[in-house]
């Protein structure tokens, strides 16, 4: 079957950006396959006709709306498995994000379907979808074909760009169809107590022009004051980012994490302080226009892909840099 079902995650009355990208990508692929792109939203009374229907603007022709807890994987697996069984979709597509990974994996197990994760591009060949996934530290691309009746494709964060399906009619709407889902026993084991979004000082690191990123070399959570001061000195559209090592250690919020399991950024300037440059970090920031690294180890891998490398103790260099930028700005 040539139809594609896309999971659209939503929070506080807005559809997630990566989900919008997945719907746009699903619409493009479905039209090449000669099918339709459908979306599925899961939630409660907050899922208005307007919110669900708005996915039409990104190319969904129909939106299935299931009343079940949003933000937990198993209820979404139940809802998607039912919609796919009833409608015969050939593919399920997810934007990047941890919930998509969990739902996609659960759905694959439920349907006995093939799954491709961390996908960066999808093509059509011989009337079927072929997913591209970087392998070997992003140095090569593998092509994944599906033998199962349903193929499950989970994008890497920011892999699919949200586009307006018809710029002439930006408000486009889709048919909304309510689906009754009987939750499986495992879907009733967990309850959503609270849903929230963690932000790093309420800044959007994906949209920042200048990112000052801190790693384990900062030594402790308080070390982030140094990089915060530097970001403040740059002013304008600048923000602080972090490695996974430090967010896992609780030194900085997860929302600031860059890399394979964090965010992908492409600022004009990326300044790394005390970051080794592990491949999982590199994949999230390698497309920055200018990369500057401060590291006391001259052999740190980050210097291999930096435009400017400063070998030395960040505790001495960062405050001096901050002063110099402040002085230059007057
Ligand atoms: C499946 C998987 C997914 C992952 N996803 C991510 C991800 O999304 N993002 C991510 O960042 N990581 C990710 N990681 C972790 C990654 O492999 C590295 O462990 C992590 O990026 C290292 O963080 P770091 O550079 O802060 O710390 P370290 O590797 O410990 O580097 C600290 C650096 O600071 C330098 N330093 C120490 N003191 C000073 C000083 N005083 N002055 C200057 N320099 C100093 C050291 O020389 C060193 O190079 C992932 C790992 C796995 C297995």
- Cα 215 to averaged position of ligand 1 atoms, centre (Å): 6
Strand 175-179 relative to strand 121-125, pairing? unpaired
What was the pLDDT predicted at 23?
96
Please give the mean pLDDT across all residues of the chain.
Answer: 92
What was the pLDDT predicted at 45?
87
Order of strands across the sheet that contains 114-119: 114-119, 151-155, 91-94, 4-7, 37-43, 62-67, 175-179
pLDDT at residue 169 above 80? Answer: no
- Counting from 1 in the atom list of ligand 1, the atom nearest the Cα of 279 is 17
Q: What is the pTM of this model?
A: 0.70
- For 184-220, write each residue's pLDDT tens digit: 999 999 988 888 765 554 557 888 999 999 999 999 9
d(CA 24, CA 28): 6
- Work out the pLDDT band at 18, boundaries 50, 70, 90: confident
- Work out the pLDDT band at 46, boundaries 50, 70, 90: confident
Order of strands across the sheet that contains 308-311: 238-242, 210-214, 269-273, 290-295, 308-311
Average pLDDT over residues 36-42: 96
- For 215-231, write each residue's pLDDT tens digit: 999 999 999 999 999 99
Nearest residue by C-alpha to atom 38 in ligand 1: 217
d(CA 263, CA 74): 25
CB neighbourhood size of 261 (10 A): 18
Nearest residue by C-alpha to atom 37 in ligand 1: 217
pLDDT at residue 5 above 90? Answer: yes
What was the pLDDT predicted at 201?
46
- For 270-281, write each residue's pLDDT tens digit: 999 999 999 999
> Ligand 1 — pocket residues by CB below 6 A?
215-217, 243-246, 257-262, 274-276, 278, 280-281, 284, 294-297, 300, 313-315
**Percentage, residues of the chain above pLDDT 90:** 75
């Amino acid at each position: 079957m040539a139809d594609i079902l896309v999971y659209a995650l939503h929070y506080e009355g807005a559809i997630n950006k990566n989900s919008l990208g997945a719907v746009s990508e699903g619409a493009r692929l479905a039209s090449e396959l000669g099918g339709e792109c459908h979306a599925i939203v899961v939630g409660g009374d907050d899922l208005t006709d307007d919110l669900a229907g708005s996915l039409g603007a990104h190319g969904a022709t129909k939106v299935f709306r299931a009343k079940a807890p949003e933000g937990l994987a198993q209820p979404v697996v139940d809802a998607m498995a039912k919609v796919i069984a009833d409608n015969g979709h050939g593919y399920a597509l997810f934007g990047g994000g941890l919930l998509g990974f969990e739902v996609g994996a659960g759905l694959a197990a439920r349907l006995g379907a093939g799954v491709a994760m961390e996908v960066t591009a999808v093509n059509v060949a011989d009337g079927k979808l072929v997913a591209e996934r970087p392998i070997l530290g992003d140095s090569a691309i593998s092509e994944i074909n599906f033998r199962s009746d349903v193929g499950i494709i989970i994008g890497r964060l920011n892999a699919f760009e949200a586009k307006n399906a018809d710029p002439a009619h930006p408000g486009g709407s889709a048919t909304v169809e309510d689906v009754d889902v009987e939750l499986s026993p495992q879907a009733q084991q967990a309850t959503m107590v609270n849903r929230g979004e963690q932000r790093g000082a309420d800044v959007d690191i994906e949209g920042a022009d200048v990112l000052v990123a801190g790693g384990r070399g900062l030594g402790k959570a308080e070390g982030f004051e140094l990089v915060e001061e530097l970001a403040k000195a740059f002013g304008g559209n600048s923000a602080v980012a972090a490695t996974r090592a430090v967010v896992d250690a609780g030194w900085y919020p997860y929302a600031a994490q860059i890399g394979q399991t964090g965010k992908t950024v492409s600022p004009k300037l990326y300044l790394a302080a005390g970051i080794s440059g592990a491949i999982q970090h590199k994949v999230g920031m390698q497309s920055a226009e200018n990369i500057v690294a401060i590291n006391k180890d001259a052999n740190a891998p980050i210097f291999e892909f930096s435009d400017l490398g400063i070998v030395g103790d960040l505790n001495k260099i960062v405050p001096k840099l901050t002063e110099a930028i402040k002085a230059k700005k007057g």
